[in-house]
């Protein structure tokens, strides 16, 4: 049985842990926030450890040395880098995967031997299908052309894009929302779908409109 340790139990970590546990993977989640831990623990097929994945003792408790994959998917790139490096150097995990919130950091992660990607959907595919990192790089080569795949976190508060049909948001020309991650659910949105605070959105956009898209979704 493939064993996966996930650092971060927010929207991304919750989605991944539930998705992988449903498919028969052995899943451990490390999360700092006690309330999030309690929510994740409702799924008795997931082992939840309260603590900081950047701490050696916490990774030791999670038995990272027995993991096939270590995935750090918090909203902090520095934490993800440190946690993955700890898993690789101290516990010898065969594969480390990190969520990268700032695409400019992808090169640094990859140079350090960490599979660094910014789309939640792709992270799930990388773990589940054991895709080669070359497949991921091929997808993200679109950034060097005219298209980019981006992930945008919708604000928890003061979200002016929430509560309106997507078709009324005034998305920039050349942008398309392809998935909404809400708690443990992946939604393929139509024009009448509405965003909710805390959603994560996967979108395809022309590179020149990427900043404008993020402003529309997060203002």
Q: Check: CATH 1.10.510.10 for 3-134?
A: no
* CATH code for the structural domain at 145-218: 3.30.70.1450
Least confident of 66-75, 84-93, 117-126, 205-214: 117-126
Interval 180-205: pLDDT, tens: 888 867 788 888 899 999 888 888 77
Interval 35-56: pLDDT, tens: 999 999 998 999 999 999 999 9
Least confident of 16-25, 26-35, 41-50, 62-71: 16-25
This prediction's pTM: 0.60
Interval 119-172: pLDDT, tens: 554 555 555 544 333 333 334 444 445 666 777 888 888 888 898 899 899 888
Long-range contacts of 18-27 (CB under 8 A, 24+ apart): 18/43, 18/46, 18/184, 19/124, 19/128, 19/184, 20/124, 20/127, 20/128, 21/45, 21/46, 23/128, 25/1, 25/128, 26/1, 26/2, 27/3
- pLDDT for residue 139: 42
pLDDT at 102 over 90: no
Classify residue 125 by burial, with Cβ atoms within 10 Å: 0-12, 13-18, 19+: middle
- Is 145-218 the same fold as 3-134? no
Residue-range domain boundaries for the chain: 3-134, 145-218
């Amino acid at each position: 049985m493939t064993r996966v340790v996930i650092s971060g139990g927010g929207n991304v970590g919750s989605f991944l842990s539930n998705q992988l546990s449903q498919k028969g993977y052995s899943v451990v989640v490390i999360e700092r926030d006690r309330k999030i831990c309690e929510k994740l623990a409702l799924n008795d097929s997931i082992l939840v450890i309260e603590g900081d994945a950047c701490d050696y003792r916490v990774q030791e408790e999670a038995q990272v040395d027995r993991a096939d994959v270590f995935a750090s998917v918090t909203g902090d790139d520095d934490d993800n880098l440190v946690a993955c490096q700890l898993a690789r150097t101290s516990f010898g995990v065969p594969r480390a995967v990190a969520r990268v919130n700032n695409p400019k950091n992808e090169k640094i992660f990859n140079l350090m031997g960490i599979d660094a990607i910014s789309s939640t959907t792709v992270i799930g595919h990388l773990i589940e299908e054991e895709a080669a990192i070359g497949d991921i790089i091929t997808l993200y080569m679109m950034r060097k052309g005219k298209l980019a795949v981006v992930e945008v976190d919708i604000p928890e508060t003061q979200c002016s894009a929430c509560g309106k049909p997507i078709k009324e948001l005034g998305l920039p020309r050349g942008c398309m929302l392809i998935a909404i991650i809400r708690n443990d659910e992946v939604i393929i949105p139509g024009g009448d779908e509405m965003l909710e605070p805390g959603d994560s959105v996967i979108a395809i956009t022309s590179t020149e409109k990427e900043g404008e898209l993020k402003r529309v979704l997060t203002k």
